[in-house]
């Protein structure tokens, strides 16, 4: 190690950058290329402004400001709370109150009550900070549960380092790569893998703003990330898809990649995509490998440091025969610390012997290959790769005066995987624009990506003898 202790963002080692180990276009975002020196200088000046804070909120649009805010906090050892830029009123209020964020770093939503600390893109500082402890929390990421408002997932610096190193190993990801993606910067996928990954590995990153097929085709990367919706749009645009044949690796995750999309991608690009599986709580735990088999419909083997097992409903082992299905449990160094302020939910997530219950149902074959079959609960919906709790959408809809009863489900959708559909029993007269009004209501209260795509007004909801809504009958 010629330049002293290795920081979490290894490619931004101050001594190495000062000695000339720079890249003129380490990160390109909003069409602006930032060198390692630019990033380090500007982010260290952010660090100086926030170094005394414990936790700050960042409105995580895909911008230079977000990149500098996140990197600055990681340099100073301040915990970042990434906030979706399309957050509505109720979601914003919850995230800020629950996280205890002390300030907005960078742009803030209109009418923000917290102090706002600006991010100055052209400011520079060359102060050096000691590397914070690996156990220190780097992020609180808000993610949906089956019920209640989103929970804050606390991810430590050590978990992130281990998670990224395991992926570099699985995908043969090196400083020679150029990663391209256009994913949101407030989740593990776009933010941790997609921004911190390149800064740890030392590869270039090109963020395309939106993950459109044409933008991916034009970016000329070696490594591409996408959710299945992105890949299914890519194969609908054969010209853009063919342009990706020069890439080294196409990676899909966040939701199941439909087998026909896998096959079409292989046909158009000449290469089978790598599929990987993970969660906000665990980062990525399973993946096919750059140097291994890629099997449509399967998400591969445990990444370095991870162990997995299957359990039935009574906690008994399920055989790894490729057929039998059970609840997937994982352990590994990239697993989170717990849910912020939620000791009971945290305790319920782990088995007594220390395995994390993913809530996903899977099969494992004799060679250790995993197939994700679905979720244990119908109340966690995956739409366009976003995890949305049916309960939070139902709560938002019940806050509308025209709604008497509601059940929210995820129905199969060719583009989004699942589309959020609200079955509503109306209170009083139903006007013509009622459905659109309810969709807007959720977009304003929670966030645009949590809005139902469809509202169906029904005379009653199907209930069992206990009065519980039978969601399996809705569709």
Site of interaction with ligand AMP (CB under 6 A): 143, 188, 253-256, 275, 277-280, 299, 358-360, 372, 375, 382, 387
Helix (H, G, I), strand (E, B) or coil at 321: coil
Smaller CB separation from ligand AMP, 38 or 98: 98
Question: Does residue 166 belong to the site contacting ligand MCA (CB under 6 A)?
Answer: no
Considering only 36, 151, 264, 451, the residue that binds ligand MCA (CB under 6 A) is 451
> Which DSSP symbol is given to 110?
T
Q: Give me the least distance between CB of 27 and ligand MCA, in Å please.
A: 18
Residue 444: how many other CB atoms lie within 10 Å: 15
> Binding string, 239-278, against ligand MCA, x = CB under 6 A?
--------------xx-----------------------x
**Cα–Cα distance measured from residue 261 to residue 229, given in angstroms and rounded to the nearest whole number:** 10
Largest CA distance in the chain: 73
> Binding string, 215-244, against ligand MCA, x = CB under 6 A?
------------x-xx--------------
Question: Does residue 202 belong to the site contacting ligand MCA (CB under 6 A)?
Answer: no
Smaller CB separation from ligand MCA, 7 or 211: 211
> Which DSSP symbol is given to 317?
B
Residue 320: how many other CB atoms lie within 10 Å: 19
Smaller CB separation from ligand AMP, 279 or 310: 279
**Cα–Cα distance measured from residue 5 to residue 269, given in angstroms and rounded to the nearest whole number:** 41
Q: Which residue is nearest to ligand MCA, using beta carbons?
A: 384
Decide: 282 and 332 in contact? Cβ < 8 Å: yes
Which residues have a Cβ under 8 Å from the Cβ of 226 and sit 6 or more positions away?
Answer: 181, 183, 211, 216, 234, 250, 251, 252
318 phi and psi angles, rounded to 5 deg: -110, 135
Question: Does residue 190 belong to the site contacting ligand MCA (CB under 6 A)?
Answer: yes
50 binds, among ligand AMP, ligand MCA, none (CB under 5 to 8 A by kind): none
175 binds, among ligand MCA, ligand AMP, none (CB under 5 to 8 A by kind): none
Smaller CB separation from ligand AMP, 132 or 226: 226
Q: Give me the least distance between CB of 327 and ligand MCA, in Å please.
A: 18
Q: Give me the least distance between CB of 42 and ligand AMP, in Å please.
A: 30
Binding range to ligand MCA, per CB under 6 A, among 103-111, 164-172, 186-194, 349-357? 186-194
Q: Give me the least distance between CB of 143 and ligand AMP, in Å please.
A: 5
> Binding string, 424-443, against ligand MCA, x = CB under 6 A?
---------------xx--x
Q: 382-391 burial, b for 16+ CB within 10 Å, e for fewer?
A: bbbbbbbbbb
**Cα–Cα distance measured from residue 475 to residue 457, given in angstroms and rounded to the nearest whole number:** 13
**Cα–Cα distance measured from residue 11 to residue 13, given in angstroms and rounded to the nearest whole number:** 6
Q: Which residue has the tokens 């990987």?
A: 276
Considering only 114, 215, 448, 457, the residue that binds ligand MCA (CB under 6 A) is 448
Residue 319: how many other CB atoms lie within 10 Å: 12
Decide: 199 and 71 in contact? Cβ < 8 Å: yes
Q: E strands, 51-177, where?
A: 55-59, 79-83, 104-105, 116-117, 137-143, 151-156
Smaller CB separation from ligand MCA, 439 or 469: 439
360 binds, among ligand MCA, ligand AMP, none (CB under 5 to 8 A by kind): ligand AMP
Q: Give me the least distance between CB of 387 and ligand MCA, in Å please.
A: 6
- Contact positions vs ligand MCA (CB under 6 A): 183-184, 187-190, 211, 227, 229-230, 253-254, 278-280, 384-386, 439-440, 443, 448-449, 451
């Amino acid at each position: 190690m010629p330049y002293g202790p290795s920081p979490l963002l290894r490619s931004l080692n101050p001594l190495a950058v000062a000695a000339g180990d720079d890249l003129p276009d380490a990160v390109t975002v909003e069409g602006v290329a930032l060198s390692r020196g630019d990033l380090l200088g500007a982010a260290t000046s952010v660090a100086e402004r926030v170094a005394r804070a414990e936790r700050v909120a960042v409105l995580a649009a895909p911008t230079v400001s977000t990149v500098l805010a996140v990197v600055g906090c990681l340099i100073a050892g301040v915990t970042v709370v990434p906030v979706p830029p399309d957050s509505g009123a109720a979601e914003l209020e919850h995230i800020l109150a629950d996280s205890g964020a002390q300030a907005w770093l960078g742009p803030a939503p209109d009418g923000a009550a917290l102090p706002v600390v600006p991010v100055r893109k052209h400011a520079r500082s060359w102060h050096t900070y000691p590397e914070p402890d690996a156990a220190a929390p780097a992020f609180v990421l808000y993610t949906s549960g089956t019920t209640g408002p989103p929970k804050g997932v606390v991810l430590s610096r050590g978990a992130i380092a281990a998670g990224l190193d395991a992926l570099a190993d699985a995908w043969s990801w090196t400083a020679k790569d150029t990663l391209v993606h256009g994913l949101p910067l407030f989740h593990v996928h776009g933010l941790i893998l997609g921004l911190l990954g390149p800064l740890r590995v030392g590869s270039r990153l090109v963020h395309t703003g939106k993950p459109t097929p044409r933008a991916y085709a034009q970016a000329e990367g070696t490594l591409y990330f996408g959710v299945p919706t992105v890949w299914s749009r890519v194969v609908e645009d054969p010209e853009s898809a063919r342009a990706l044949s020069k890439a080294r690796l196409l990676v899909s995750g966040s939701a199941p990649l439909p087998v026909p999309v896998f096959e079409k991608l292989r046909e158009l690009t000449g290469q089978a995509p790598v599929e990987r599986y993970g969660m906000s709580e665990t980062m990525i735990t399973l993946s096919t490998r750059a140097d291994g088999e890629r099997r449509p419909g399967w998400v591969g083997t445990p990444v370095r440091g991870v162990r997995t097992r299957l359990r039935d409903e009574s906690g008994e082992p399920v055989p790894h025969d490729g057929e039998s299905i059970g609840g997937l449990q994982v352990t590994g160094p990239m697993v989170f610390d717990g849910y912020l302020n939620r000791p009971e939910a945290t305790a319920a997530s782990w088995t007594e012997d220390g395995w994390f219950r993913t809530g996903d149902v899977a099969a494992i074959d004799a060679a250790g290959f995993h197939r994700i079959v679905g979720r244990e609960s119908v109340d966690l919906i995956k739409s366009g790769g976003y995890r949305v709790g049916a309960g939070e959408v139902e709560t938002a809809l019940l806050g509308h005066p025209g709604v008497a009863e509601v059940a929210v489900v995820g129905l199969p959708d060719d583009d989004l995987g699942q589309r959020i559909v609200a079955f509503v029993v109306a209170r009083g007269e139903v006007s013509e624009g009622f459905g659109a009004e309810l969709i807007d209501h959720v977009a304003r209260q929670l966030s645009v990506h949590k809005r139902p795509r469809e509202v169906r007004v029904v005379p009653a909801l199907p209930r069992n003898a206990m009065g519980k809504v039978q969601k399996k009958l809705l569709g």
